[in-house]
Amino acid sequence: MIDLSPPVIEIFNESGEEITLSQKQAERILNFISKKEQASFAFVEVVYVDESEIERINKEHLDRDYITDIISFRYDEEQEQKTQSDIEGTLFCCAQRIKEQAAEFDETQEREFQRILIHGLLHLIGYEDSSKQEKEKMTDLENKYLSFFETNI
């Protein structure tokens, strides 16, 4: 029997910061990215943390000693053959860093929170941003998808 239930996205705020992304907006973004990228998500957990926690996660899991805006973990990361269906993962997001970036880029906080969610979902699908080319491709996709939400969210 095929499970036709919609993907689940759960948001947890452990940061102490106000998050300018609603549950409804997150669900719409998840469903939109799923459709446009032809990938299905089963479950995505978004956890907003403070700077010290994102730095700890970054150091412990990625051996990087700095604060970042998002770290994505796909649950089936260890499997050699990842599929584009029933993707599950956790996105650890640094709310304070996202707000700082919004100011740096002269962006609204709401739009920057949307961008970071889109960025994390693209990582779960399999996009990378290690090289300049990969980073440019992801940024182009983020901008493309954000332009849709400017008028539709």
Nearest alpha-carbon partner for 19 in 89, 116, 143 = 116
Q: Is 65 helix (H, G, I), strand (E, B) or coil?
A: coil
Q: What is the CATH number of domain 8-152?
A: 3.40.390.30
What is this structure's pTM? 0.90
What percent of the chain is modeled with pLDDT above 70? Answer: 90
Cα–Cα distances (Å) from 31 to 28, 62, 107, 128, 131, in that order, read 5, 29, 24, 21, 28
Overall residue count recorded for the chain in this entry: 153
Residue 83: pLDDT band (50, 70, 90) is low
Q: State whether the Cα torsion 75-62-46-6 is positive or negative.
A: negative
Q: Domains of the chain: which residue ranges?
A: 8-152
pLDDT(1) > 50 = no
Chain mean pLDDT for the chain: 90
